[in-house]
Amino acid sequence: MNKDLEEKAIDLSVISKIISDHQPFSQEEVISSLQEIQDSYGYLPKEAIDELAELTGTPVAKIYGVVTFYSGFFLTPHGKHSIKMCRGTACHVKKAPKILSAISGYLGIKDGETTDDMLFSLESIACLGTCFLSPIMLIGNQYYGKLTPKSAIKILEGIAKEEQDKK
């Protein structure tokens, strides 16, 4: 695991701060607390979930139930930019597998993996519900439709360049 993430994962003071912002703590606060915990660590470390459970008296199983229900939560370190490539039928027939393979080759990771620099995570997922834009990928909250392998790589190059310029 990336050392920065590991160090962050053990700084559990973040959790009590988040919980104190959600008082009185009710079951409805679990989702928003988990979102804030993930924003803070980049994913949901097991220690953070245990701490959340202990400090709020919420059963751990209940928290994992929420985490596994929502696709936006990650239990392992995740890249800053989460790429979700649609593998639904409409996208599949418009050559989504070729695009996934091009992205995979460009980033040097397979479906389900994260780049070593923690910049990108890649996963193929079922229909994104925007078939009229197929083939399509979602990066963060941004949809990119009518893709070709070339245009997909260009988008990733643009994001990588933006990140480079921030340094």
Q: Which residue ranges make up the site for ligand FES (CB under 6 A)?
A: 86, 88-91, 127-128, 130-131, 134, 136
Which lies closer to ligand FES via its Cβ, residue 79 or residue 88?
A: 88
Which lies closer to ligand FES via its Cβ, residue 40 or residue 130?
A: 130
Which lies closer to ligand FES via its Cβ, residue 67 or residue 85?
A: 85
Q: In the bound complex, what is the minimum distance in angstroms from residue 100's beta carbon to ligand FES?
A: 12
Q: In the bound complex, what is the minimum distance in angstroms from residue 95's beta carbon to ligand FES?
A: 12
C-alpha span between 50 and 102 (Å, rounded): 39
Task: Name the DSSP letter for residue 123.
Answer: E
C-alpha span between 78 and 85 (Å, rounded): 16
C-alpha span between 26 and 10 (Å, rounded): 25
Helices (H), 10-148: 13-20, 29-41, 46-56, 60-69, 89-93, 96-107
Q: Which residue lies nearest ligand FES, judged by its C-beta?
A: 88
Q: In the bound complex, what is the minimum distance in angstroms from residue 144's beta carbon to ligand FES?
A: 12
C-alpha span between 47 and 9 (Å, rounded): 7
Which lies closer to ligand FES via its Cβ, residue 15 or residue 137?
A: 137
Q: In the bound complex, what is the minimum distance in angstroms from residue 31's beta carbon to ligand FES?
A: 25
